[in-house]
Structure 1
Amino acid sequence: MAKISVRKETQTLLFDFNYLGKRCREQTTLKDTKANRRKMEKVLERIELEIIAGTFDYGKFFPGSSRAKVFAANGNPGASQTAPATPPITEVVVNTAPSVATTKAVTPISPEPSSPTFAEFAAIWLGENEAVWRRNTIRAASIHLNSYLLPYFADMPLYSVNKAHCLDFRAKIAREGGSLKGKTLSAKTVNEVMQVLGAIMAEAAERYDFANPMQNVKRLKARKVHIEPFTFEEVQLFLKHVRPDYHSYFTVRFFTGLRTGEVHGLRWPHIDFDRREILVRETFSHLGREYTKNEGSQREVKMSEPVYRALKAQHEASGHFSDYVFCSKVGTPIQPLNVNRRIWKPTLKRLGLKDRRLYQTRHTAATLWLASGEAPEWIARQMGHTSTEMLFKVYSRYVPNLTRKDGSAFERLLEQRLGGGA
C-alpha cells in the first residue's frame, strides 16, 4: 500500500510504494510537516493513478534515482506511453540521494483529487459536531441534510461540487421546496439550509485542499420580522383572565423576558429568593434538558415584586413534589406545545386579543423595561444579550429618550429657537 513515511535518522519524508512487484522507497529532504505531507500525498496520488493507467514513467518523477535507470533499462512500461495533455505544474521531484531535492516543471496526468462523497463526509461532519452542539442544533442540521442536501448532493464527490451546483440547488429548493413538494421555502429557511451546506463545504475544502465553492455565495434577502409586544393594559387583561394555575407561569414570562426553553427548564435550585434572582443555567425542550443557547444566556435575572410573589405562590403549589418550577401534576416539565395549544391561544381568542406567538412575552418584557426608562445595558444583560446592539436593532422604535416621550426634545428645541425668535 502506498504511503508517506518518515526516515528516523533525518526525520525527513519519503515515498513508499510498489511498482512492477518491487517495493520502491524514494527519499526527500522535506521535513515532516503537515504542509509537506499534503504536497507529497498529491504526488503519490498521481503516481498510483499513472501506475493503474499504465502510463507511469519512473524517471519523470525520480530522475536521479538508481531504480529509474533499472526500470528504463528493462523497458519502463509507462515511459513510451503518451500522457494526456495537461497544463504544466511545478512539483517536487526527488532522487535517492538524501541531500538532493529539486523543483522541476513536469507535465503529469492530472488525476481527480481524492475525497469522499458528500453523503460520506456529511455523516463524518455531523458526528464530529455532536460533541459540541446543542441537541436542537444537531436536530436542525440533520433535518436540513436529510430533507434537502442529501437528495441533491449525496453521491457527488466533494471536490466535484462547484458554485454552479450550489446556486442551482438554492434555486431548486426555493422554487420547489426541496423534499416538501409543492411548498415554497421562505428565504430564511433557504438561508439556513445553505448555511449547513457552507459549513460542510468549508470544512471539506480545508481538509481535502480544494477551493470552497460556497465562498462567494450570498444569502437571500429575507423579510424583516417585526415584533408584536403586548401593551401593559393587555398584559393586565391576560393575567386577570388566564387559567389560575398558569397565572404564575405567565407572570414570570411577561416580566422577565425568559425564553421558552429557559422558563420550562427552570428548577428550584436556581431560584434565589434571598437575593431575588433567577439563575438562568439550563433550557428544556422536547429533546430534554441541556445547556443554554450560548454563554451569554447564562445570567441572573432580577425578580420584580410581581415575579417574586408569583414564584413564592408557585413554590407553595409545586415546590414540595417537583424539582421543576413549572411542572405537570406528576412533576415533569410542562410541554411548550401543550401550553401554546391549550392555554395561550384559547385565552387570546377569548379576550379578543391579536393572535401572537408565545415568544412575544419576551419582547413584551423588553419593551416594558424600555418604556420605564431602564438603562439599555441593564436590559441587554437581563435578556441574555452580550451587547446592546440587538436591543437597539429589534426594539429601536420602543427606545425612549430621557424625557420618556420620543420626539419631545426636538419639539422643545424648535419652540425655543423658532417660537422664541419670533
Structure 2
Amino acid sequence: MPVYKDQKAKKNPWYYQFDYLDDSGERKFKKQRGFKTKGDAQKALVEAESTYNRDGLTKESKVLYSEFLKRFIDYKKAGGVSKSTLVNYTWLIDLHIVPYLGSIMLTELKPEMLVRLYNRLNDEKTLSDENIQKVHTLINNSLQLAVKWKELNRNVASLVDRPKVKRKKVEVWDLEDSHKFLLEAKNSRYYMTFLLAVTTGMRQGEILGLKWENVDFNRGNISITQTLSHDGKEFIDGAKTKAGVRSVAVDQATLDELKRLQLRTKKEKLSSPEGTYIEKNLVICTSVGTQLTPRNLMRSFYALIEKTRVKKIRFHDLRHTHCTMLLGMDIHPKKVAERVGHKDSRMMDRYSHILPNMQKETASKFGEMFYKKA
C-alpha cells in the first residue's frame, strides 16, 4: 500500500499517494495528507482508489465550504425537508459552522479542524450536547454529498467520532406540585394547555395545533394530526416524528374540562363584534380565535410557577412529568412510549432517577406475595 509517514510533520503525519492516467493518457499522481494514523491513511486510500476505478478520479472542487453549504441547504430543501427543520439547519450552519469553517476550501478540510470545532462549541456552552451532535451530522451529511457529487474524494467527517451526549437528569413535578400548579392555573385562560400536557403527555406544538374536530368526546380520545411551529406562525401537518401521529386516550375529568372550554369558546365567538373573530377551530386560541404563540404561553407558564412557588421546570417537562407518573404506576415502558409518541421504549433511560423507587416498590410487592402463605 503506498502509504507514507512525513517525519517532519508533528501532527497527522500520514499520507497516501497513488498514480493514475488522466483523460489524455498522461501519468499523474494523487496525494492526500493529514491523517493521524497509518490505518486512517490506508482506509482513505482504499476509498480513493475504489472511487477512481469505478468513476475516474474526482475533480475536486475549489469552492469555499460556506458556498457548498448553501448548495447543501438547497438540496435539502428540494428533498422535501420540513420548513422548521430547514430553519434549524440554517441556524446551526450560519451561527456555528460557517464562522469557524466557512472560509476554508472544501478540499482543505481536515479531521482535526472538526475536532477543534466540537471542542470549542463544548467549551463555549452555547449549544446543547444534542445540537453539537447535529452540527456533526450536518457536516458529515454535507461532505457525503460533496463526495457523491464528485467534488471530494473523501469525507473527513467520517474519520471523526460523533460528539457524545451527556444525558441530563429530567426535571419533573411530583403529584403534589402538579395539583398545586393546576389549582392556581384554573383561572388562567390557558389552563387547558397545562392540563393536557400533564394528563396526556402531549408536546407543546401538538396542544397548540389541536383542533376541535380532532377531539372525539364519544370515544374519549384526541387525534394528533398537526402541530404549531416554534415561532407560532404556521401549522405543520403531521407531528414531530412518525410515531407522533397518534391517537391519545383522555380521562373523563379532562374530557369534562374540554367540554367546558368548548362552550366558553363558542360564547366568545358569538359575543365578538362582527368581523373580529377569526375562526380556526382551535382548542387553544386567543379571545379572537387565533393561535396562541409559544412565547405568550411561556410568559403565562412561568408567572404561574412563580406565583405557586413550585419547582421551576420547562413546559416540556410537563410531558416528562406525565411519563414519570405512568412509569411509577408500573405501566410498561412500551405503552408509555406509544402514548406520548416516542418511536421506541428506550425513552425509559431518561427516567432512570425514578427506577430505584420503582425497584423498591416491586420488591415490596414481591415480598408480600411470596411470604403471604409462609
Change (3 A) 1:118 1:260: same
Residue number in structure 2 paired with 1:125: 72
Q: Give the root-mean-square deviation of aligned CA atoms.
A: 3.2
- Check whether the contact 2:136–2:163 (CA below 8 A) recurs between aligned residues: no
- How far the C-alpha of 1:199 sits from its partner, in A, is 1.6
CA–CA distance in structure 2, aligned partners of residues 318 and 84 of structure 1: 76
Residue number in structure 1 paired with 2:265: 318
CA–CA distance in structure 2, aligned partners of residues 170 and 231 of structure 1: 37
Would you say 1:346 and 2:303 are equivalent positions?
A: yes
Is the helix fraction higher in 1 or 2? 2
Identical residues among aligned pairs (%): 22
Q: Quick one: which amino acid aligns to residue 202 of structure 1?
A: Q
Higher Cα Rg: structure 1 or 2? 1
CA–CA distance in structure 2, aligned partners of residues 339 and 217 of structure 1: 41
Residue number in structure 1 paired with 2:182: 239
CA–CA distance in structure 1, aligned partners of residues 358 and 313 of structure 2: 30
After TM superposition, the score normalised by the length of structure 2 is 0.74
CA–CA distance in structure 2, aligned partners of residues 145 and 244 of structure 1: 39
- How far the C-alpha of 1:188 sits from its partner, in A, is 3.8
Change (3 A) 1:155 1:274: same
Q: How many residues align?
A: 314
Greater length-normalized contact order (CA 8 Å, ≥ 6 residues apart): 2
CA–CA distance in structure 2, aligned partners of residues 231 and 401 of structure 1: 13
CA–CA distance in structure 1, aligned partners of residues 293 and 176 of structure 2: 28
CA–CA distance in structure 2, aligned partners of residues 338 and 280 of structure 1: 22
Out of 258, 263, 266, which is 2:210 matched to? Answer: 266
Equivalence map 1:39-188=2 (5 Å): 46-47=22-23, 60=25, 113-114=60-61, 116-131=63-78, 132-175=80-123, 177=124, 185-188=127-130
Would you say 1:213 and 2:156 are equivalent positions?
A: yes
Residue number in structure 1 paired with 2:318: 361
Deviation string, structure 1 residues 348-391 (Cα, Å, up to 9, x no partner): 1122211111111101111222233333332221110222222x
Change (3 A) 1:401 1:173: closer
Would you say 1:226 and 2:172 are equivalent positions?
A: no
Change (3 A) 1:186 1:253: closer
Change (3 A) 1:150 1:136: same
Out of 191, 197, 203, which is 2:145 matched to? Answer: 203
Q: Quick one: which amino acid aligns to residue 211 of structure 1?
A: R
Change (3 A) 1:252 1:149: same
After TM superposition, the score normalised by the length of structure 1 is 0.66
- Check whether the contact 1:371–1:404 (CA below 8 A) recurs between aligned residues: no
Change (3 A) 1:414 1:153: same
Residue number in structure 2 paired with 1:289: 235
Deviation string, structure 1 residues 164-222 (Cα, Å, up to 9, x no partner): 222233334444x4xxxxx7555444333222212211221222151110113123333
